[in-house]
Amino acid sequence: MDEAGEHDMEGVMVVPSVVFVEPGESIQNGVNTVDAYGTVIVAPGVYNENVTVNKPGVQLHGAQYGVDARERIVVPVPESIINGTVSLAEQNTVIDGFTVQNVAGNAGIVTSAAFSGYWVFNNIVQNNTFGIYLNSADGTITQVKQNVVRNNRQPGAASGNGIYCDQGLRNAVIRDNFLTGHDPANAAGINITPLVQNAASRIWITDNFLFQDSSIALTNTTFVTVSQNCLIQNIGASAIFFGGGTSFTDIESNIIQNNNRGISVTAVFTGTENTGIRVKHNNIQGNIFAGLQVVNNAYSGILNATNNFWGNASGPSGIGPGTGDAIINGDPDTTILFEPFLTSPIARIPCQSSIVS
């Protein structure tokens, strides 16, 4: 282990601001050695250990620091591979450029609900019980960007979730990630399900690609934006799922295509109705059972679903006049507005077909 520290004028060792870790050495020892707000740089290789980052501002840089993980699954490159859980347990801590895998009984990457300001960038998170256990306090924005989260289905609690929150998540961005291969029956690709209503707030889920995955699932959330995502061929009950207790959710400019259902609004987990959902400017097409379905006692008020493309110029079927994806309203207390609707798809940058080709 190389330390970028030095002795001061009296011969006292200055705590290093940068520590280098080579194969055969311990990443945890690097974290223990480096100063707060320092950097641990990890060489390519395999590291069989759990790592806890418990100093504020410490950054873990893997061999692929700064390199989009979605590019690395197309053309593999040398990786810093951790067979164990990485826990970010202090303010403003960072993990960037690793493969984190093969964890039985836990997530690959864990963030604590006691702190905020996490950066989870450019990692491949795979073959764990669940992928990223994402919780944070209010404060500095937390960001999860440019990761590949796939096939996290080993046995254990919360198995089959890609990105999972149950303790609380505030002021967070989940952006530009690729998710695939999670449990369609009991979990979700992105599952924001805190135990207390409104414990997840001010969350932006944008520009992600969920392919042959499970849902984006929201329960007990408020002020969430789900925008510009591609949700294609997902094998769960729906591409976007509401479990109850949500308020002020915007679903806009997404491609929601070839799933079982596009958007399902239920209160199955809480028994508390959802409120304030807006569904605007989406391409919703080719979904087998419905483009939008609201079940009984799941929603309160008017659900604005105007200005969407439903797969056919004639508009949605179901309560609509056309032959496109169906709108099904099973709640007599809910009004779904769907006119005007779009007669052609919204042009936008296509999903990252190179990832799945």
What is 55-356's CATH number, 3.30.565.60, 3.30.450.40, 2.160.20.10, 3.30.350.10? 2.160.20.10
Identify the pLDDT of residue 273.
Answer: 97
Contacts of 347 (CB under 8 A, 6+ apart): none
Name the helix (H) or strand (E) containing 355. helix 353-356
Q: Smallest Cα–Cα separation from 294: which of 305, 284, 286, 283?
A: 305
Claim: this prediction has a pTM higher than 0.85: yes
User: 84-111: b or e for each residue (b if 16 or more CB lie within 10 Å)?
Assistant: bbbbbebbbbbbbbbbbbebeebbbbbb
- Residue range 257-280, pLDDT digits in tens: 999 999 999 999 999 999 999 999
Q: Give the list of residues 6+ apart from residue 148 with CB closer than 8 angstroms, or none.
A: 69, 70, 72, 73, 123, 124, 125, 126, 177, 178, 179
Rounded mean pLDDT of 351-357? Answer: 75
pLDDT digits (tens, 9 = 90+) for 25-57: 999 999 999 999 999 999 999 999 999 999 999
